[in-house]
Structure 1
Amino acid sequence: MNIRKTVVSGSFYPNDKDELIELINSFSKDINQKYENTFEHINAIITPHAGYIYSGYLANLSFNLASKQNPKRVIVIGPSHQAYFEGSSICLDDFYETPLGNIKIDTKLSKQILQKYDFINQNEETAFEHSSETQAPFIKYYFPKAQLIEIVYANQDINILCTLINELILNKDNLIVISSDLSHFHTLEDAKKLDENCISAINQKDINKLNICEACGKIGISAILKSAIKNSLKTKVLDYATSFDINNDKSSVVGYTTALIGE
């Protein structure tokens, strides 16, 4: 039995189960009063992947709203920060470790995807990737019975990735998670200008606006927007925040957003 072990547990998010549950619960206060879910079904979400102190509230927001559903599997698609390679890598371990308990990986479907798509491979270095790992505790918390598929991309063609998303997105048993932060290390003023392009691109399903957007997961965002257009799905940005909101540093800011894609 192979287990994808945690790498950023204890740094990006608490390693202690009770502390982690308490933190997620704190994120969820007043959500129903502040945010309205106008979707009949949520097919996908866009979530950030920074340390929970910075972006956990936003990540939790989209997971919380999607938790009214009961997906059998959650497919996390995130950018590689540790390794550069061609295409995308898929995890074929048996379980994915979290402080809340292990998540069973859907190895059957993962192997089928690996065999079907030439751009999917296996890269062991992606086992150190935080863009997907930071989503795992939310998955275990909100969908304790769901299985996981982890796809990490590097030099990935958007249209090819979109073909895989199109295969998965209309299946009501699936929830797709697109992992991305927004602009990095600009002044607060410049960050907000750049991030507004990303937010507008998502809300308006205008992929051209992503040309003036800076996001580490822009490939994933582009692919999910192309799929939303093709499949006539709605998009809605829920909220936006920056690292300034936590550390009061205007000189070097990271932006975060979270969004819903659905019917």
Structure 2
Amino acid sequence: MNRAPAVAGSFYPADPTTLSRMMADFLRQARPDGKAPKAIIAPHAGYIYSGPIAASAYARLNSVRESISRVVLIGPSHRVAFQGLAVSSADTFTTPLGSIEIDKEAIESLQSLRFVGYLEQAHALEHSLEVHLPFLQQVLSHFKLVPIVAGDASPSQVSQVIEKLWGGDETLIVISSDLSHYHDYSTAQRLDKHTSELIEHLDYQHLSSEQACGKVPVSGLLKVLQDKSLKIKNIDLRNSGDTAGDKYRVVGYGAYVVE
């Protein structure tokens, strides 16, 4: 079974050549300072809006292009309400750039957690995972994917999943989240700065879904980092008013790395 792209042609170009060139431009303009991250938080909006910010994180993966063989990708559910975390029984997830093999063994290992289950409806139309896939295909050589959609789940539940799949240098953790939604430019800047401070201080207890639509997976990652005494830092903080939108009603985006 294959999970076909749902937002190709709307969130990002459906033509593979156009798509690859767009991402190459974003990555070229990013500044890949610092070492390759173990985990990232990156946005999931249309590429013209959030692509440059996502590229700030993805550009740092160039040095580990050949060594990362598994990506654990967790994003929030926008279309289906459910309890816990949803995995897929698909064999591949496809984008205009080709198919990505699913790590069935990793997904099977999560079945020991009672709050993780198969739910294809959660994946079928969900963009929070899909928009990351072309970036991953662009910057990594060959990898298997563990796609997880987060529903109503606690930080502890998400952290258990991340801990179980943490692995070593072969595993990259990607958390999908935008920041504030539909405020004016200056209000968004103020709100997103505060949210960034909460994230950098690992203060998931005070993070709300109004501050980050991916609050559930973000909180789970922050709990893991707290438990492991690791740090996360913001490397890009902008909004749609900085990229391709007006400044009257913007959406905030942040890129974060765990090195």
What TM-score, normalized by structure 1, do the two folds share? Answer: 0.92
- Deviation (angstroms), 1:173: 1.6
What is the aligned counterpart of 1:154 among 147, 151, 157?
A: 151
2-structure distance, mates of 1:212, 1:85: 16
Tell me what 2:19 maps to.
20
Q: Distance in 2 between matches of 1:119 and 1:28?
A: 37
Q: Which residue, out of 232, 236, 240, partners 2:237?
A: 240
Matching residue's letter, 2:232:
T
Shift of 1:71: 1.2
CA deviation after TM superposition for structure 1 residue 207, in Å: 2.8
Alignment correspondent of 1:124: 120
Structure 2 match to 1:48: 43
Is the 1:71–1:174 Cα contact (8 Å) retained in structure 2?
Answer: yes
Q: Equivalent residues in 2 for 1:1-263 (5 A)?
A: 2-31=1-30, 34-37=31-34, 39=35, 42-69=37-64, 70-113=67-110, 115-126=111-122, 127-211=124-208, 214-262=211-259
Query: How far off is 1:75 after superposition?
Result: 0.8
Task: Name the % identity.
Answer: 36
Deviations 1:47-68 (A, max 9, x none): 1000000001111221120232
CA positional deviation for 1:247: 4.3
**2 CA distance for matches of 1:102 and 1:246?**
29
Note the alpha carbon deviations across 1:226-262, whole angstroms, 9 max, x for none. 1111112221111011111234523211000011013
Structure 2 gap ranges (5+): none
Shift of 1:35: 4.6
**What amino acid maps onto 1:45 in structure 2?**
I
| Structure 1 pair 86–6 and aligned structure 2 pair: CA distance change class (3 A) | same
CA shift in 2, pair 1:132/1:248, >3 Å: closer
Is the CA contact (8 Å cut-off) linking 2:154 and 2:220 kept in structure 1?
no
167-176 vs 253-262, greater mean Cα deviation: 167-176
Q: For structure 1, which runs of at least 5 residues remain unmatched after alignment?
A: none
The 4+ residue runs of structure 1 with deviation greater than 6 A are: none
CA RMSD of aligned residues (A): 1.7
TM-score by length of 2: 0.93
